[in-house]
């Protein structure tokens, strides 16, 4: 369960550097700032997008920072953390139309069936997906079937046939 920080404590103020590094997609600055205190990796912060209560992965998804998202995922950030409105990082990537970001999150196990917390009709990730990438996401999620194995055999008369 992510920790929640709801005030402007010194811990929150300390995070300005990592937030700004993600927002500007400054990879080196991000690594330096995160390295100061990796305990904050799974904290969620009062401010931010989609109702607030954003994790660092929400911010990376919203700003389409693919390399930063990969580092956060490699370090074990919560993949299914939700904002106050119930948006996961995958939902944010899909709403914004960021296909490569969505694919990375899906590859890491993001739940495409997660629902936002709005009432009375919560929408799924696919309901929220930007029209520019919806067909690509559907194709990406389609089960991959391997090509059929074809055996070619030479017949006694010198011809070939498929088995």
Domain positions in the chain are 3-162
Q: HSE (CB half, 13 Å, CA atoms) of 16?
A: 5
Nearby residues of 140 by Cβ (< 8 Å), 6 or more positions away: 102, 103, 106
Residue 29 to residue 18: CA distance in whole angstroms: 7
pLDDT digits (tens, 9 = 90+) for 29-49: 999 988 887 777 888 877 777
pLDDT digits (tens, 9 = 90+) for 94-152: 999 999 999 999 999 999 999 998 778 899 989 999 999 999 999 998 876 666 777 77
pLDDT digits (tens, 9 = 90+) for 52-81: 888 999 999 999 999 999 999 999 999 999
What pLDDT, on a 0 to 100 scale, did the predictor assign at position 46?
78
- What phi and psi, each to the nearest 5 degrees, are found at residue 111? -85, 110
What pLDDT, on a 0 to 100 scale, did the predictor assign at position 7?
42
Give the burial class of 87: count Cβ atoms within 10 A of its Cβ; 0-12 exposed, 13-18 middle, 19 or more buried: buried
Give the burial class of 66: count Cβ atoms within 10 A of its Cβ; 0-12 exposed, 13-18 middle, 19 or more buried: middle
What pLDDT, on a 0 to 100 scale, did the predictor assign at position 9?
40
What pLDDT, on a 0 to 100 scale, did the predictor assign at position 48?
77
What pLDDT, on a 0 to 100 scale, did the predictor assign at position 14?
58
What pLDDT, on a 0 to 100 scale, did the predictor assign at position 75?
94
CB atoms within 10 A of CB 131: 7
CATH number of 3-162: 1.25.40.20
Give yes or no for a contact between 133 and 97, defined as CB atoms under 8 angstroms apart: yes
């Amino acid at each position: 369960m992510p920790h929640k920080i709801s005030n402007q404590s010194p811990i929150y103020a300390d995070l300005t550097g990592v937030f700004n590094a993600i927002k500007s997609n400054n990879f080196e600055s991000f690594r330096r700032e995160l390295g100061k205190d990796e305990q904050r990796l799974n904290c969620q912060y009062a401010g931010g997008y989609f109702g607030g209560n954003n994790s660092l992965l929400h911010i990376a998804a919203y700003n389409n920072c693919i390399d930063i998202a990969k580092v956060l995922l490699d370090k074990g950030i919560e993949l299914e953390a939700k904002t106050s409105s119930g948006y996961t990082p995958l939902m944010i990537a899909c709403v914004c139309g960021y296909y490569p970001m969505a694919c990375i999150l899906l590859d890491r196990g993001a739940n495409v069936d997660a629902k936002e917390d709005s009432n009375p009709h919560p929408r799924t990730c696919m309901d929220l997906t930007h029209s520019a990438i919806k067909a690509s996401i559907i194709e990406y999620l389609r089960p991959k079937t391997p090509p059929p194995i074809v055996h070619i055999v030479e017949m006694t008369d010198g011809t070939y046939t498929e088995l």
